[in-house]
């Protein structure tokens, strides 16, 4: 299960429950699970201890600053405003994984909605939360029990690392 070189997360509906709060000034806020943040910490710790070169980043269609701020706090790279995620991954792998015949085989993707479908179809391994769009659930390698923003990321990372149920 450890044959991966890249872990990519969508943000809304993955780290969040896909809802947005808007205040009277028009500022947006989202709700994220600290369990998911701990899951990311577990992944980063695994990468460090195992001395592996694994890229970890968020790929979001949104341009909201809340996405960047949350990723910064978790210590992972964030690419925002990407309307075509498949084209982005094609270009990214062309730079970062150009030596690999099929770079998608080493990609683990966490997604929940139709803008994630194309990448999820190509990824070596993909995870969808239980409340993902039905088309996403149909193509995901694994549909997990958790909903987006409610421990889904942590559940997927623990599954990926083989540490399910271990704190």
Q: Are 107 and 141 a contacting pair, CB within 8 Å?
A: no
The pTM for the full model equals 0.94
Q: Residue 20: phi, psi to the nearest 5?
A: -130, 140
Q: Does residue 125 belong to any structural domain of this protein?
A: yes
Alpha carbon separation from 55 to 24, 75, 103, 167 (Å, rounded): 38, 12, 12, 23
* CA–CA separation, 167 and 157 (whole Å): 12
Q: Does residue 113 belong to any structural domain of this protein?
A: yes
Q: What CATH number did the domain enclosing 48 receive?
A: 3.40.50.1000
Q: Does residue 166 belong to any structural domain of this protein?
A: no
Q: Does residue 132 belong to any structural domain of this protein?
A: yes
> How many domains are there within the chain?
1
Which residue segment(s) compose the domain that 112 sits in? 6-161
Q: Does residue 1 belong to any structural domain of this protein?
A: no
pLDDT in tens, 20-44: 999 999 888 899 999 999 999 999 9
pLDDT in tens, 51-72: 999 999 999 998 888 999 999 9
């Amino acid at each position: 299960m450890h044959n991966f070189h890249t872990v990519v997360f969508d943000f809304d509906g993955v780290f969040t429950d896909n809802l947005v709060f808007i205040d009277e000034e028009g500022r947006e806020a989202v709700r994220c699970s600290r369990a998911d943040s701990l899951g990311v910490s577990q992944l980063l710790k695994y990468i460090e201890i195992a001395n592996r070169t694994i890229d970890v980043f968020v790929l979001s269609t949104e341009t909201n600053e809340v996405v960047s701020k949350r990723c910064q706090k978790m210590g992972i790279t964030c690419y925002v405003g990407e309307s075509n995620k498949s084209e982005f991954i094609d270009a990214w792998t062309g730079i970062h994984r150009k030596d690999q015949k099929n770079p998608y085989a080493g990609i683990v993707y966490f997604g929940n909605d139709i803008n994630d479908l194309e990448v999820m179809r190509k990824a070596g391994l993909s995870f969808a939360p239980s409340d993902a769009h039905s088309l996403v659930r149909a193509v995901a390698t694994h549909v997990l029990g958790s909903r987006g923003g409610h421990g889904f990321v942590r559940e997927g990372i623990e599954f990926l690392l083989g540490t399910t149920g271990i704190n």
